[in-house]
Amino acid sequence: MITEEHKAGESAIQMAEQLEKGSSRLRFRPFLALCIFAPCSLIAGTTPNQTLGWVIFVVACAIIAVYCWTRGPVETEDSRRWRYGAGVEKRVGALLDRIVASMNRRKETAKVFHDVRIKGWTGNIDHLLICRYGIFIIDSKGRSRRAVIAQREFKGKDGKKQKSWFIGNEVFPLAKALGAVNGIDGRPGIRSVLGVEAVHLTWCIEGPEIPTVRFGGGKAVPGVAFIKQEVSLCSPSAKSGKSSLQKLIESRKEAFTNAEVEALIELARTELI
C-alpha cells in the first residue's frame, strides 16, 4: 500500500547523504588532526612550563575533536554519482509529469509514481507510469558517451560464460528487471499482482541520442532501441516536438480504457506498493 508518494530521485539523494555522513568523520580529517597534533605535542614537550604545554595540547585536541565531529558532510566520488543519478531521475520525472499532464488535457486518465518501493522487493523503481497505453516501468540513467547497445558474452562471478545485453561496457540488469515484471524466487511480479499483460520496461538514458534499432521486434520509433518487444531504451531529450520517451509510450497500442486505468491506479496503491 502506498502510504506516501515520493519525489523523483529521493532514494538516490538519501543514499548520497548517507555516504557523505559516513565520510565526514573519515578521509582527510585524521590527516588534518595529525598535522596539528604533532606541533602541539612538540610545544608541550619543549615549553619551559610543562604543565602549561600539556594544557595547550589537551585543549587543542579537544578543539580538533569537536571540529572533526561537527564538520559538515564530505562529498565523495560515490556520493557524486548518486547525486548525478538523482538529477537525471528528477529531469526524467519532470518530463513524465509533463507527459501525464498532456494526457490529462486530452481527457486521458494517467498517473506516474516516482521512486516506487515495491513491498517484498529490495531496491526501487525510478518511475511507474500507468496510462491507456499500458504500464511502464522506467529506469533513469545518465551517460556522457553515445550508447553502443549489443549482446555479448562475459564471465560471471562463478567464472562461467554468460550472455547479456550491454550499454557500452555496462551490463544491462535485464534479468533482474524482468523478474520485477514476471516474478522471481517465489515473489509475484507486477503482471500477476495487477492482472495485466501490458507491462513495458524502459531505460531512459540522458546523454547522446539512442540509436533507432529493433533487436527484438517492436515498431520502429526514432531514438528508441528495442531489445525485446516489451523492453526498450530511449532518451528523454527531444530535438523538436515530442521526446523519444513520449513517442515510445504513445507508439504502444491502447491497452486500457480510462475506467480501467483508474482501477489499476487504485490497485497499484493498495496491492503493489
Q: In this structure, is residue 75 part of a structural domain?
A: no
Question: 235 and 184: one domain?
Answer: yes
The total number of structural domains that make up the chain: 2
Query: Which pLDDT score, from 0 to 100, does residue 1 have?
Result: 43
Residues of the chain with pLDDT > 70: what percent?
A: 71
Question: 248 and 128: one domain?
Answer: yes
Q: Does residue 265 or residue 71 have the better pLDDT?
A: 265
Question: 56 and 184: one domain?
Answer: no
For the cut 90, the answer to whether the pLDDT of residue 219 exceeds it is: no
Q: What whole-number distance in Å separates Cα of residue 208 and Cα of residue 218?
A: 22
Predicted confidence (pLDDT) per residue in 97-111, tens digit: 999 999 999 999 999
Q: Of 16, 3, 65, 2, give the one whose Cα is nearest residue 36.
A: 65
Q: Which domain holds residue 49?
A: 25-70
Q: In this structure, is residue 201 part of a structural domain?
A: yes
Would you state the cell numbers that stand for residue 268, as one nine-digit string? 497499484
Question: 241 and 152: one domain?
Answer: yes
Question: 210 and 146: one domain?
Answer: yes
The domain boundary residue, chosen from 17, 46, 70: 70
Measure CA of the first residue to CA of the last residue in the chain; give whole Å.
Answer: 5
DSSP secondary structure code for residue 9 in this structure: T
Q: What whole-number distance in Å separates Cα of residue 116 and Cα of residue 228?
A: 24
Residues of the chain with pLDDT > 90: what percent?
A: 21
Question: 268 and 142: one domain?
Answer: yes
Q: Does residue 93 or residue 182 have the better pLDDT?
A: 93
Question: 134 and 263: one domain?
Answer: yes
Q: Among 66-75, 247-256, 259-268, name the one with the lowest average pLDDT.
A: 66-75
Average pLDDT over residues 121-134: 87
Q: Among 44-58, 78-92, 127-141, 155-169, name the one with the lowest average pLDDT.
A: 44-58
Question: 135 and 236: one domain?
Answer: yes
Q: In this structure, is residue 17 part of a structural domain?
A: no
Question: 51 and 113: one domain?
Answer: no
Would you state the cell numbers that stand for residue 34, as one nine-digit string? 595529525
Query: Which pLDDT score, from 0 to 100, does residue 110 have?
Result: 96
For the cut 50, the answer to whether the pLDDT of residue 45 exceeds it is: yes
Query: Which pLDDT score, from 0 to 100, does residue 207 have?
Result: 76
The CA angle 228-198-106, to the nearest 5 degrees, is 115
Average pLDDT over residues 190-198: 87
For the cut 80, the answer to whether the pLDDT of residue 28 exceeds it is: no
Query: Which pLDDT score, from 0 to 100, does residue 3 have?
Result: 45
Q: In this structure, is residue 240 part of a structural domain?
A: yes
Query: Which pLDDT score, from 0 to 100, does residue 192 have?
Result: 86
Please give the single-letter amino acid code of residue 36: I
Task: Read off the pLDDT band of 122 (50, 70, 90).
Answer: low
Average pLDDT over residues 23-45: 55
Question: 30 and 121: one domain?
Answer: no
The domain boundary residue, chosen from 70, 96, 129: 70
Query: Which pLDDT score, from 0 to 100, does residue 158 have?
Result: 75
Q: In this structure, is residue 92 part of a structural domain?
A: no
